[in-house]
Structure 1
Amino acid sequence: MSENVLKPNATKVFFLNFLKVISIAIVLGGLFLILKYTIGFEMFLIPFEAFDVEVSIPSGLVYYFFGGTLGLALLLGGSNYLSFRGVRYNVYNDNITIMKGFVSSPMVIPFQNIQRITPNKNGIFKSILNFGSVVFELSGLKEKEIKLNYVDKPNEIASYLQKLINKSAQLKQAKFSETYRLDKITDRF
């Protein structure tokens, strides 16, 4: 029973999430700067003046904002990176076993329960980085759909898995036919 191991590309997941947070930070930073230079932050101090509360706006507020956003991006990306390090998909001749971490029990999906395989590379960054997910539509199991998330080259993996499933089905059919023929021969005696 041969085994192939597929793993999510944790580095690309980190990079993708880092880019998302940085993109949001750039948009918010741009809005922040537009607000600062068109309206000014003094408008937000008027309610405090009504209560004789003196509030000063630090001059490095923009730097604090970008520094905090960068720290948040690194923290979120790092936690995402670590969460995908333990995930792996073991592909055997007749099933796929999904391992999520070291504590959880593996999920075994027999090939005969897979109805359709669809590669999915939605998004600009996923297309550029050539990674995405492979979606299995299932029958006869509790789950109706399973995704192999953040795998490299999802089109090639989907094609490879479809060939394995077809080969497994042909092998089962050949075994059944051979057993049936042998039963017919032994019934004569």
Structure 2
Amino acid sequence: MKLKVCGMREADNIRDLLELEPDYMGMIFYEKSPRCVLEMPKADLSGVEKVGVFVNASDEEMIEKAQTYGLDLLQLHGEEPVDQVKRLRERGFKLIKVFSVADELPIALMQAYSPYVDYFLFDTKTPAYGGSGQKFDWGILKDYDLEKPFFLSGGIELDDLDAIRQLGVKQLYAIDVNSRFELAPAVKDIKKIKALKDKL
């Protein structure tokens, strides 16, 4: 199972995180987020897949940020229409499409996006866009019958790994952690993430 650490921004914290060799590092480009990236971190970002997180952004904004930050994937966390996702795909971007989940998976909606994305990501439905530290009922993932691999997000803690493994869902590709592993918004607890990485 792969590991994505999201909400990174501070250069020193990024450098410390990269020593743990996570598979993916997420940077949030949503101005209402307390973890929003305001300028280029002065850190060597090589050696990790860099994910830019966007909420209902324009094509132009996402392309500009991808070029500036050397993003490897775009994570679409809003209500981006299928046509926009298709356009980004045609531009050659690797894509993660997020679905906020309450009590069921929106399978029909996901099928419309499936041809154009590399991964889905399931997060807990809240008034905000992620970073809530809240879980949804992971048991509904057992009903997932699409081939597309997915990331699991939403309130994941160190002690949740056994329960996640016991779901036995072969398409579960990675876990995505954020607020439960923070000392402050955008500042990760490196010791806690190391313990998670060791358990993985």
TM-score by length of 2: 0.21
Q: Which has the larger radius of gyration?
A: 1
- The structure with the greater share of residues assigned to helix is 1
